[in-house]
Structure 1
């Protein structure tokens, strides 16, 4: 081997080593390091009983058209839901100010103008829209004007359909549990997915059931298609208006008043603890909702108050709750209740929102957490006094008085309504959070909306690693420079020798 080639080999070896080192450092970093800049999004969840604000963020680089969204911050708006401000000009908008100011502080100032802001109203506003469309529009316009006054990119305030609320709740559950397949920045798998689970949501004015199905839908009103991470998901979803926790309790009261009458001035309530009494104003506490309209008779004085006397009777409570469902009419091959089509529910489910809180109260009172023993748990709760309940849970009477009714409602809804049985009930988990974040429709809403937001480019400089890795990158860059210099020197010496010859 000639001296010229012998001198060139170390230089090439050094050059190859430097190139390999730089590639090993830079390429994995593009996948493992978070881009330094995030995009942000704000969703106001305007529910029937309250409003919550959630701030989300995701890397500027999106994965397969859908941003990798995480919860950045949250805020609970003080006071009732925005639908409660019907007839109260300025009330709904003012209630949002404190949380919106928190958003101004939480989102980096440089990102304010690029941060989309949405308000989604659910069943409470759907009910108001149904009973007074003009007042519903006034409230939405009012809160829209308030949101526009903040330095974010306001995208609109809207009333979500029941289908949207159910589907986005399903997205949230499966996203937080990492059930969707996700890809890394250089095309590698971050998570191959685990298979989607169903979602059961119980709010104040409505309840939703959503699950993936291959069964051809017999009703378009219960079918929805979503595309996430390049995959299409066909869902069964339905929202039952007036079957939320608060509206169900109103309907139960209205049913008892209608069947017993008001001649004595008092009404027996089989779901209230024995000897527990309370008074309510008919027009304000019972018949102010369109959900109770069918129970209102012409002779009822809405200004009058009624005394409710608890009898704590498990069987009578269950019978009264069952009367609020209709299991007779069905024009399809299979129905849940009230004539609504539903294929058989199968696989795992997560039950959240009021499902979780109600089940946690029942579990605390009875130490029964097995869903297959829901009927037994309901009977135990209905036999307890209000004093026993408050002593065990340390919760006020206003919450405990309704535990028996809600326990029976959930039992009937899941077993007789949705068709869960002793084999499938254990597949339901009652949860408040998933993956450390709040469960509800807003994250799924934000996740879907990120597919439609502009994608910011990521510069080459963002691929350069930081911290201790940057030191190694500098060393390999120096080796590369040394190799190039050595090659130049060797080539010059070789050329000089050739000229001498």
Structure 2
């Protein structure tokens, strides 16, 4: 009886131990599963955070900056460009910061030290626009145009040296060639690059390019891609230039006429000589001004006394003869009548003065609009010069210049200060070119 009783007790003990082992195994497995799940969840969190950080890092790496100072005849402007960069594609312009000051560097020709303050102020704008970690890799460039090209060499050199001193103190990337006077042809080519980049003409062969006309104060440029091979063959060798841009080759007709910018041409039509003050009580007398007009006019820091002249024929005809005589054989005709052109600077400003285009949005204008506007303004000056005493002369000069360049009276130009919100100057194209030179050296 006692033996029979011992068997069930052993069975109960084994059963209890077995249940305990099963329970402990279950608890351990549940704990391990939970810990593994927690570990997986934690690892996933870190991966997401790392991927986010990596994405932000890649975004920063894909942005490049460039600073271009445009030292023109009437003012100094700074363009700070932010580019989204992909080695496999043409860069995209993400943002532009722009600031301008007056007067131009040439105004300090006799006091070059004074030119530094304005440059320093514009550099502060660049510092505020560019993240500090990017300062050391951001190219800093100044290109001077006609205002300095017209100065005696020594004065221009002194001014540029002062700019170099300011650049040397800045945290941005600059080289020996960062400060220089820009060749007129380079100015035209760079402006052509800017316009066609903004219009999409440099992003694919299926899109045709447009020509560019720029009328500054001291010089004027014409640049276009010739449609006829004969233009390339018959043009002077220094009018034709070729270059690579975004893995494509471009051949351009480009020329800058120094001394035929609007202010320099105005002086020449009036009978003055660039950089030479009048002696004593001398005056510049012209039929392009109202007969009763007398006043002071300052050009390139030289003050002139200008005066209207009574003539025996209508003012427009008298002024036209003066302009045609001044420009005679100074401009070469080009094969341009069948090509689309954009026109800028004083072409734009005088279009606004005529009321043909809107000051903010621009528009389109014909050569004949300048011609007819000149006739109307000039012949109305019998009664007085009005708010702009030089408008008759300016419009007459523009209309003659365009005809001398080969444009017929019915040719239509597009006028724009900006394209897609970006100023249509040479600065963007010149920045592309400089950044490419920095990258390849």
Q: TM-score range by the shorter chain?
A: 0.7 to 0.9
- Asked if structure 1 preserves the Cα contact closer than 8 Å seen for 2:96 and 2:422, the reply is no
2:225 alignment partner in structure 1: 212
Deviation per CA, 1:280-318: give whole Å up to 9, x if none: 5899636xxxxxxxxxxxxxxxxxx64513658111111
Could you tell me how far apart the structure 2 residues matched to 1:404 and 1:43 are? Answer: 35
Query: Aligned ranges for residues 447-466 of structure 1 at < 5 Å?
Result: 447-454=432-439
Could you tell me how far apart the structure 1 residues matched to 2:106 and 2:415 are? Answer: 28
| Partner SS state of residue 384, structure 1 | helix
TM-score (norm 1): 0.66
Report the alpha carbon displacement of residue 201 of structure 1 after superposing the two structures with TM: 0.5
Residues 254 and 442 of structure 1: CA distance in aligned 2, closer, same or farther (over 3 Å): same
Given the alignment of the two structures, is residue 414 of structure 1 paired with residue 402 of structure 2, yes or no? yes
1:352 alignment partner in structure 2: 344
- Asked if structure 2 preserves the Cα contact closer than 8 Å seen for 1:140 and 1:157, the reply is yes
Which residue, 66, 69, 76 being the options, matches 1:44?
Answer: 69
Q: Which one is further off, 91-100 or 406-415?
A: 91-100
Could you tell me how far apart the structure 1 residues matched to 2:306 and 2:350 are? Answer: 25
- Asked if structure 1 preserves the Cα contact closer than 8 Å seen for 2:62 and 2:86, the reply is no
Q: Which one is further off, 134-143 or 197-206?
A: 134-143
- Asked if structure 2 preserves the Cα contact closer than 8 Å seen for 1:386 and 1:401, the reply is no
Given the alignment of the two structures, is residue 114 of structure 1 paired with residue 114 of structure 2, yes or no? no
Residues 441 and 280 of structure 1: CA distance in aligned 2, closer, same or farther (over 3 Å): closer
| Partner SS state of residue 97, structure 2 | strand
Query: Aligned ranges for residues 233-248 of structure 1 at < 5 Å?
Result: 233-248=250-265
* Structure 1: unaligned runs, 5 residues or longer: 1-25, 183-191, 287-304, 328-336, 391-396, 456-501
Residues 147 and 35 of structure 1: CA distance in aligned 2, closer, same or farther (over 3 Å): closer
Report the alpha carbon displacement of residue 70 of structure 1 after superposing the two structures with TM: 4.4
| Partner SS state of residue 72, structure 1 | strand
1:375 alignment partner in structure 2: 371
Query: Aligned ranges for residues 140-219 of structure 1 at < 5 Å?
Result: 140-155=160-175, 156-181=178-203, 193-213=206-226, 214=229, 215-217=231-233, 218-219=235-236
- Asked if structure 2 preserves the Cα contact closer than 8 Å seen for 1:363 and 1:369, the reply is no
Could you tell me how far apart the structure 2 residues matched to 1:371 and 1:246 are? Answer: 20
- Asked if structure 1 preserves the Cα contact closer than 8 Å seen for 2:368 and 2:399, the reply is no
Query: Aligned ranges for residues 3-152 of structure 1 at < 5 Å?
Result: 37-64=62-89, 66-77=90-101, 79-128=102-151, 132-152=152-172
Report the alpha carbon displacement of residue 372 of structure 1 after superposing the two structures with TM: 2.9
Report the alpha carbon displacement of residue 405 of structure 1 after superposing the two structures with TM: 0.9
| Partner SS state of residue 383, structure 1 | helix
Find the structure with the greater CA-based Rg.
2
Could you tell me how far apart the structure 1 residues matched to 2:373 and 2:201 are? Answer: 32
| Partner SS state of residue 174, structure 2 | strand
Given the alignment of the two structures, is residue 363 of structure 1 paired with residue 350 of structure 2, yes or no? no
Could you tell me how far apart the structure 1 residues matched to 2:155 and 2:279 are? Answer: 32
Could you tell me how far apart the structure 2 residues matched to 1:255 and 1:446 are? Answer: 36
Could you tell me how far apart the structure 2 residues matched to 1:229 and 1:152 are? Answer: 25
Number of matched residues? 368
- Asked if structure 2 preserves the Cα contact closer than 8 Å seen for 1:362 and 1:403, the reply is no
TM-score (norm 2): 0.75
Could you tell me how far apart the structure 2 residues matched to 1:102 and 1:282 are? Answer: 29
What value does the CA root-mean-square deviation take over the aligned residues? 3.3
- Asked if structure 1 preserves the Cα contact closer than 8 Å seen for 2:289 and 2:385, the reply is no
Report the alpha carbon displacement of residue 368 of structure 1 after superposing the two structures with TM: 10
Could you tell me how far apart the structure 2 residues matched to 1:240 and 1:405 are? Answer: 19
Q: Which has the higher relative contact order, 1 or 2, with Cα contacts under 8 A spaced 6 or more apart?
A: 1
Could you tell me how far apart the structure 2 residues matched to 1:115 and 1:221 are? Answer: 32
Report the alpha carbon displacement of residue 279 of structure 1 after superposing the two structures with TM: 3.4
- Asked if structure 1 preserves the Cα contact closer than 8 Å seen for 2:263 and 2:299, the reply is no
Query: Aligned ranges for residues 210-359 of structure 1 at < 5 Å?
Result: 210-213=223-226, 214=229, 215-217=231-233, 218-254=235-271, 268-279=285-296, 285=302, 306=305, 308-309=307-308, 313-327=315-329, 337-338=330-331, 340=332, 342-344=334-336, 346-359=338-351
